[in-house]
């Protein structure tokens, strides 16, 4: 059974799950992961990518230890409907039946029919033209994007422990351990308090069009007060700042 490692958090909550949103070319939202091979328990393609582009590593973990990264090992249900993209014919299928105006993939529409997509970058990259190569290169590594959390059977909390080294020297590569806990975790469903908060914000009629920054500014006090209780209730190890950002994005995209 294939399992996947999602790097960045060790707690998967419906309250914080962001719906997939089209981008150019990468979408945002969803839950991103890479294949975890039990034969190589201390190797991960995304961690390898972070090692050669450390500015991303430090940017993502600016408020916590960048060398100790929370993660989650995901096991999908047998019934999970995942579109595997590994050759040009499959890419052309997606661009024909789930097209965007700029001849790329409409991930938002794809999420209506599939639980997720696995982009097998190593297989497809040599089977497409130059334009599509440039689009696919933005994904950096072969990636699973989960649209629907219901397709996850369970997950295990994990930690990526990177041995610090001097990033000034490009010939050096990181050494790290992927530590996976044995206990199986269920996805925590969205709770009544979070739904009440979302409905409270939605009830402001009409909600003026605004960007994420404006949204955060407008609801700063409400989100700050809410997140204290949220953190305790969910026993989350994430910092309040991170939780507030994730929660605000979830709400912002749901209105």
CA pair distance 76, 139, nearest whole angstrom: 21
Q: Is the pTM of this model over 0.85?
A: yes
pLDDT at residue 63, rounded to an integer: 60
Flag whether 118 is in a domain. yes
Flag whether 187 is in a domain. no
More confident of the two residues 172 and 42: 42
Same-domain check for residues 168 and 198: no
Same-domain check for residues 232 and 111: no
**Is residue 98's pLDDT more than 80?**
yes
Flag whether 81 is in a domain. yes
Task: Kindly report whether the peptide bond that precedes residue 176 is cis, defined as omega within 30 degrees of 0.
Answer: no
pLDDT at residue 195, rounded to an integer: 92
Domain count, the chain: 2
**Is residue 160's pLDDT more than 70?**
yes
Flag whether 101 is in a domain. yes
Flag whether 33 is in a domain. yes
Same-domain check for residues 39 and 127: yes
Q: Which of 155, 180, 205 is the last residue in one of the domains?
A: 180
**What is the tens place of the pLDDT at every residue in 21-46?**
999 899 999 999 999 999 999 999 99
Query: Which of these ranges, 5-14, 153-162, 169-178, 200-209, has the smallest mean pLDDT?
Result: 169-178
pLDDT at residue 173, rounded to an integer: 66
More confident of the two residues 167 and 78: 78
Flag whether 112 is in a domain. yes
Same-domain check for residues 169 and 202: no
Strand order in the sheet with 152-163: 82-85, 116-119, 143-146, 31-36, 3-7, 68-76, 152-163, 175-180
Same-domain check for residues 107 and 175: yes
Q: Which domain holds residue 121?
A: 3-180
Q: Which of 156, 180, 204 is the last residue in one of the domains?
A: 180
Residues 6+ positions from 158 with CB-CB distance below 8 Å: 5, 10, 70, 71, 72, 73, 178, 179, 180, 181
Same-domain check for residues 172 and 200: no
Same-domain check for residues 96 and 42: yes
DSSP letters for the chain = --EEEEES-S--BGGGPPPPB--SSS-BSSEEEEEE-TTSTT--HHHHHHHHSHHHHHHHTTTS-TTEEEEEEEEE-TT--EEEE-SHHHHHHHHHHSB-TTSSB-HHHHHHH-SEEEE-HHHHGGGS-HHHHHHHHTT-S-EEEES-GGGEEEEEEEEEEEEP--TT-TT---EEEEEE-SS-BPPBPPPHHHHHHHHHHHTSSSPPP--HHHHHHHTHHHHHHHHHHHHHHHT--S-HHHHHHHHHHHHHTT-
Query: Which of these ranges, 153-157, 172-176, 242-246, has the smallest mean pLDDT?
Result: 172-176
**Is residue 97's pLDDT more than 60?**
yes
**What is the tens place of the pLDDT at every residue in 117-149?**
999 999 999 999 999 999 999 999 999 999 999
Same-domain check for residues 230 and 202: yes
Flag whether 86 is in a domain. yes
Same-domain check for residues 7 and 31: yes
**What is the tens place of the pLDDT at every residue in 35-78?**
999 999 999 999 988 877 777 766 655 566 778 889 999 999 99
Average pLDDT for residues 96-101, to the nearest whole number?
Answer: 96
pLDDT at residue 51, rounded to an integer: 79
Same-domain check for residues 176 and 134: yes
Flag whether 103 is in a domain. yes
**Is residue 100's pLDDT more than 90?**
yes
Q: Which of 180, 215, 240 is the last residue in one of the domains?
A: 180
Same-domain check for residues 216 and 96: no
Contact at 8 Å (CB) between 113 and 77?
no
**What is the tens place of the pLDDT at every residue in 179-230?**
999 999 999 888 999 999 999 998 887 677 888 899 999 999 999 999 999 9
Same-domain check for residues 211 and 150: no
């Amino acid at each position: 059974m294939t399992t996947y490692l999602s790097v960045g958090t060790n707690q998967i909550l419906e309250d914080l799950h962001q719906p997939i949103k089209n981008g150019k070319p990468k979408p945002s939202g969803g839950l991103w992961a890479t294949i975890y091979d039990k034969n190589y328990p201390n190797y991960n393609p995304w961690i390898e990518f972070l090692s050669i582009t450390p500015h991303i590593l430090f940017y993502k973990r600016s408020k916590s230890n960048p060398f100790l990264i929370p993660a989650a090992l995901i096991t999908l249900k047998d019934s999970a409907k995942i579109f595997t993209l590994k050759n040009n014919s499959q890419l052309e299928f997606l661009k024909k039946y789930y097209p965007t105006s700029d001849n790329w993939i409409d991930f938002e529409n794809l999420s209506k029919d599939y639980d997720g997509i696995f982009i097998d970058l190593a297989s497809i990259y040599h089977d497409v033209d130059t334009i599509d190569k440039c689009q696919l290169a933005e994904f950096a590594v072969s990636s699973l994007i989960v649209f629907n959390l219901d397709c996850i059977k369970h997950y295990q909390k994990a930690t990526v422990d990177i041995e610090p080294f001097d990033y000034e020297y490009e010939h050096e590569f990181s050494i790290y351990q992927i530590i996976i806990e044995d206990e199986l975790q269920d996805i925590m469903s969205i709770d009544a308090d979070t739904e009440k908060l979302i409905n409270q914000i939605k009830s402001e009629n009409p909600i003026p069009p605004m960007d994420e920054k404006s949204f955060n500014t407008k609801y700063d006090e409400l989100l700050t007060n809410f997140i204290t209780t949220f953190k305790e209730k969910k026993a989350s190890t994430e910092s309040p700042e991170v939780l507030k950002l994730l929660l605000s994005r979830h709400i912002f995209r749901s209105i």
